[in-house]
Structure 1
Amino acid sequence: MSAIREGMRQVMAWLHGWTGLALGWVLFVMCLAGTMSVFKPEISRWMRPEATASAGRIEAIAAATNWLASSARGSTGWYLTAPDDRANVVEATYDKGGDYVARALDPVSGAPVARETLGGEFFYRLHFELELPYPWGRWLASIAALAMLTALVTGIIAHRRIFRDFFTFRPRKGQRSWLDGHNALGVLALPFHLMITFSGLVTLASLNMPWGIVANYGNDLAAAFHDLAPGAVDRPAAGRPATLAPIAPMLREAERRFGGAPFSRVSIANPGDVASVVTVYRSDAAQIGATVAEVSFDGPSGRVIGAWSEARPAVGTYAVIYGLHMGRFAGGLLRWLYFLGGAMLTLAVASGMILWVVKRRERAPLSLANRIVERLNVGIIAGVPIGFAAYLCVNRLLPIGLIDRAQQEVTIALDAAGIALLAAIAVPPRLGWPLLLGVLALLCFAAPVVGGGLSYLSQALARGDAMLPMADALLIGVALTALACMRAVTRKRPEIRRPARARAIA
Structure 2
Amino acid sequence: MGWLHSWVGFLAGLVLTCIFATGTLSVFDKEITQWMQPEVTLDHPPAPTPLALQRAAETTMAEQEKDLFAFITLPSLRDPVLRVLHYDGHEFIGPVLDPVDGHIFPARATAGGQFFYDFHFALRNGPVVGCTIVTLLGVCLLVAIGSGIAIHIKAMWPDLILFRPFGPRPRAWLDAHLVTGVLFLPFLIMMTYTGTVIRARGILPPHPFLPAQQTEPPPPAAASPPAKTNVSAPPASAVRPPTPPLGPLIAQAQQILQAERCELILFSPTQIRIFRSDDASLFLTRDLVTFSRADGHVISSFIQKGAAARTLELLHGLHYARFSSALLRWLYFLSGLACTVLMGSGLVLFLMKRRKASGQKILFRTAEGLTIGVLVGLPLAVIGLFWANRLLPLSMDARMEAEIQAFFMLWAFSALHGLICALRNTAYSGWRAQLVVLAFMGLGLPVVDGLTHSHGWLQDAGRYYTLDALVMLTGLAALIMFQKLRRQSS
Normalised TM-score (structure 1): 0.86
Tell me if structure 1 keeps the 8 A contact 2:382–2:407.
Answer: yes
Tell me if structure 2 keeps the 8 A contact 1:93–1:100.
Answer: no
Aligned to 1:416: 410
Aligned to 1:68: 60
Aligned to 1:7: none
Shift of 1:239: 3.9
Match of 1:125 among 118, 123, 133: 118
Aligned to 1:87: 79
Aligned to 2:183: 188
Instruction: Give the partner amino acid of 1:23.
Output: A
Shift of 1:149: 0.9
Aligned to 1:375: 369
Counterpart Cα distance in 2 of 1:377 and 1:466 = 34
Aligned to 1:407: 401
Match of 1:279 among 273, 279, 282: 273
Matched, 1:27 2:37: no
Aligned to 1:202: 197
Alignment of 1:218-233 (within 5 A): 218=212
The C-alpha deviation readout for 1:81-109, integer Å capped at 9, x for no partner, is 2221111333333489x999721412243
Aligned to 2:255: 256
Shift of 1:426: 1.6
| Cα distance change, pair 476–103 in 1 and its aligned pair in 2 (3 A) | same
Aligned to 1:429: 427
The C-alpha deviation readout for 1:100-146, integer Å capped at 9, x for no partner, is 97214122435254301110000000002112244221111111111
Counterpart Cα distance in 1 of 2:368 and 2:91 = 41
Shift of 1:230: 8.6
SS at match of 1:306: strand
Matched, 1:105 2:96: yes
Counterpart Cα distance in 2 of 1:99 and 1:137 = 11
Aligned to 1:455: 453
Shift of 1:57: 4.8
Instruction: Give the partner amino acid of 2:56.
Output: A
Counterpart Cα distance in 1 of 2:344 and 2:47 = 41
Instruction: Give the partner amino acid of 1:13.
Output: G
Match of 2:462 among 459, 466, 472: 466
Match of 2:483 among 482, 487, 504: 487
Shift of 1:380: 1.5
| Cα distance change, pair 174–432 in 1 and its aligned pair in 2 (3 A) | same
Match of 1:13 among 2, 5, 17: 2
Aligned to 1:240: 239
| Cα distance change, pair 113–296 in 1 and its aligned pair in 2 (3 A) | farther
Between the two proteins, what is the percent identity of the paired residues? 29
Counterpart Cα distance in 1 of 2:186 and 2:240 = 55
Shift of 1:492: 2.0
Aligned to 2:39: 50
The C-alpha deviation readout for 1:287-335, integer Å capped at 9, x for no partner, is 2110231111111311111112101210110010111000111212211
Higher mean alpha-carbon deviation, 81-90 vs 120-129, is at 81-90
Alignment of 1:139-178 (within 5 A): 139-159=132-152, 160-170=154-164, 171-178=166-173
| Cα distance change, pair 259–430 in 1 and its aligned pair in 2 (3 A) | same
Matched, 1:349 2:335: no
Instruction: Give the partner amino acid of 1:437.
Output: L
SS at match of 1:307: strand
Tell me the number of residue pairs that the alignment of Structure 1 and Structure 2 aligns.
469
Alignment of 1:212-223 (within 5 A): 212=207, 214-218=208-212
Shift of 1:361: 2.3
Aligned to 2:174: 179
Instruction: Give the partner amino acid of 1:86.
Output: R
Aligned to 2:221: none
Counterpart Cα distance in 1 of 2:15 and 2:460 = 40
Instruction: Give the partner amino acid of 2:117.
Output: Y
| Cα distance change, pair 451–480 in 1 and its aligned pair in 2 (3 A) | closer
| Cα distance change, pair 215–20 in 1 and its aligned pair in 2 (3 A) | farther
Instruction: Give the partner amino acid of 2:257.
Output: F
SS at match of 2:446: coil
Tell me if structure 2 keeps the 8 A contact 1:128–1:138.
Answer: yes
Instruction: Give the partner amino acid of 2:119.
Output: L
| Cα distance change, pair 229–391 in 1 and its aligned pair in 2 (3 A) | closer
Q: Mind listing any 5+ residue stretches in structure 2 that lack a counterpart? A: 217-225
Shift of 1:348: 0.8
Counterpart Cα distance in 1 of 2:117 and 2:317 = 15
Q: Mind listing any 5+ residue stretches in structure 1 that lack a counterpart? A: 1-11, 223-227, 495-506
Instruction: Give the partner amino acid of 1:198.
Output: Y
Higher mean alpha-carbon deviation, 51-60 vs 176-185, is at 51-60
Counterpart Cα distance in 1 of 2:451 and 2:483 = 28
Shift of 1:14: 1.3
Tell me if structure 1 keeps the 8 A contact 2:83–2:97.
Answer: no
Aligned to 2:329: 335
Instruction: Give the partner amino acid of 1:64.
Output: A
| Cα distance change, pair 393–418 in 1 and its aligned pair in 2 (3 A) | same
Tell me if structure 2 keeps the 8 A contact 1:375–1:424.
Answer: yes
Counterpart Cα distance in 2 of 1:400 and 1:220 = 38
> RMSD across aligned C-alpha pairs, in angstroms?
2.8
